[in-house]
Amino acid sequence: ANILGIQALQHAFPELKHVAVFDTAFHQTMPSHAYRYAIPAEYYEKHGVRRYGFHGTSYRYVAQEAGRVLNRDSNRLALVIAHLGNGASISAVLNGKSQDTSMGLTPLEGLVMGTRSGDIDPSLFSFLSENFAMSVEQTTNMLNRQSGLLGLSGLSNDCRTLEAAAKEGHAGATLALEVFAYRLAKYIGAMTVACGRLDALV
């Protein structure tokens, strides 16, 4: 879909320079112990199966802005940055470089999001297949589009709606917000480990 857009614009504006900015590029500084999965090496070596991370353009900007706001050199800071929204991730940024991030091969890994589950036991695929005859495609769709805050609450993926409903005593909304906050807090601790110290949480 992204390439189609570029091609259409190249056709419409052939005189303009077109630049692709990859959301994963910022995380290419992660050490191998952060980006490798604990699966047979051939899947990485032959097929590039590894953790790539996303939201990189946001992290680069926010790390620079944090330095400006703190009146410190962003290339000398240990930051844990949480990119929170319907798609949510968190990253450890040390001296301007990504050390680790919560999203992996795809944006599904990591934090609980609006409609994405975040971290899940991979055996869920075989469990749902064996017990409910769900295909890989059906399970993937459920984990990406029907889970997260929406799935937990049974109400909405919008925190404004969930906060209002929780105040009214809606158990699903309360649980969704609690799970979201708890998983985020666990990841803040993990990303602090990846930085080795913490100067600011953004």
- Say what the pLDDT of residue 166 is: 98
Q: With beta carbons less than 8 A apart as the criterion, state whether 41 and 58 touch.
A: no
Phi then psi for residue 136, to 5 deg, are: -60, -40
pTM of the model: 0.92
* Token reading at 144: 């990406």
pLDDT average per 10 residues of sequence, the chain (202 residues):
91 93 95 98 98 97 98 97 97 98 98 98 98 98 98 98 98 98 98 98 98
CA–CA distance, 172 with 177 (Å, rounded to integer): 9
Residue type, 102: S
Q: Which of 70, 83, 111, 79 is nearest to 97 (CA)?
A: 79
E strand or H helix that includes residue 63:
helix 56-70
Q: How many domains, in total, are found in the chain? A: 1
Q: Which of 33, 38, 64 is nearest to 49 (CA)?
A: 38
CA–CA distance, 110 with 103 (Å, rounded to integer): 5
- Say what the pLDDT of residue 2 is: 83
Half-sphere exposure of 168 (CA within 13 A, CB side): 9
Catalytic residue of the set 23, 119, 158, 199:
23
Residue 133 structural domain: 1-201
Round to the nearest angstrom and report the end-to-end CA distance of the chain: 32
Catalytic status, residue 199: no
Task: Assign residue 95 the CATH number of its domain.
Answer: 3.30.420.40
Q: With beta carbons less than 8 A apart as the criterion, state whether 31 and 67 touch.
A: no
Q: With beta carbons less than 8 A apart as the criterion, state whether 112 and 183 touch.
A: yes
